[in-house]
Amino acid sequence: MSLILTGSEVMQGLDMDLALVAVEDAFRAYGEGRVNMPPKAYLTLAQGDFRAMYGEIFLPHDHICGLKWVNVHPGNPANGLLTVMAKIILNDPDTGLEFADLDGTHITDYRTGAAGGLAARYLARPDAARLGMVGAGAQARTQAAAILKVRPIQEIVVYDRHLTCSRPFAERAAATYGIAVRAVETPEEAVVGMDIVVTTTPSRTPLVRREWVSPGTHINAIGADAAGKQELAPAILTAARVVVDDWAQASHSGEINVSLANGDFSQEQVYGSLGEIVAGKKPGRETSEEITVFDSTGLIIQDLALGLAVFRRAQERGLGEEKDFLK
């Protein structure tokens, strides 16, 4: 039997605390070599693309494998549709039997936000209080939610090329978190003087300049998730301790991909993976002055770990509908 969970049912069992725990388990498994994860495959289309992500993970008390089928269609909001939508299938590795079929759209948002929060926990200064955001879409919301769980943020400054996006974001965040939040008109205003900077745009040209980034800043580079995408000036990467989620994916489609292709950055300049840091194999931030960058491409193991946690919670709460697809 497979438990079918719609988006609204997933949300009844999903929160950022659950996501942070699940995603940390996933990255620790990665750092300890308890995953089997081929790089994601891309199907490029005229108006967007699909990604097939699949893998296997050994968690503390579970062993699962699965698949996520996820799209990115940047023009969708103009038609009243989400840019990113996903489906996640969870299987028993020993038999291949499917045991869960979940809407993965919200899980994708939360696991990506949780990865940014996890990176901030290990790489941002402990006293980081000012958060700058370049981009005000769905990913920005979960990034902010996760980072506020791990650092004492007192102010958020948000830039989006559309003030119609950044202003509502600022109003919602201020009401939700009870802190100062303001929308600004330039990316520079969202970067200069910030302790943590998050970029969540589909840009193919750098939006953040090196001279804007202060010593001690941590950057979550989230938006680059396909070849040719780039949000940070190459000089930021060469000045920073760069941590990737996965070298194979980051080198192909992460923030470092363009700088690697142009010869502005090399594999030897990558400090390591977030999994290595979470597993205790490498230290995270070591000084208050260093600049750190987390290059996040999104890993299937994040989806599997969080999808399983949502599945378990749904079982406990009697959510979803069981189906036998073999009959």
pLDDT along the chain (327 residues), means of 10: 97 97 98 96 95 97 97 92 95 97 97 98 98 95 98 98 95 97 98 98 96 98 94 98 97 96 96 98 97 98 98 97 91
Q: Is 271 helix (H, G, I), strand (E, B) or coil?
A: strand
Looking at residue 101, what is its pLDDT? 98
Looking at residue 327, what is its pLDDT? 83
Active site residues: 68
**Residue 93 CB-half CA count within 13 A:** 14
Query: Could you give all domains of the chain from N- to C-terminal order, each with its CATH number?
Result: 2-108+301-323 (3.30.1780.10), 125-298 (3.40.50.720)
Looking at residue 226, what is its pLDDT? 87
**Helices and strands of the chain, counted as H and E runs:** 10, 16
The tokens for 157 are 């400054």
Looking at residue 326, what is its pLDDT? 87
Q: Cβ(142)–Cβ(109) under 8 Å?
A: yes
213: closest CA among 280, 276, 290, 278? 290
pTM of the model: 0.95
Q: Cβ(139)–Cβ(117) under 8 Å?
A: no
Strand ranges (E), the chain: 2-5, 35-36, 41-44, 49-58, 63-72, 84-91, 98-103, 130-134, 155-159, 180-184, 196-199, 218-221, 241-244, 270-273, 292-295, 321-323
Q: Cβ(309)–Cβ(22) under 8 Å?
A: yes
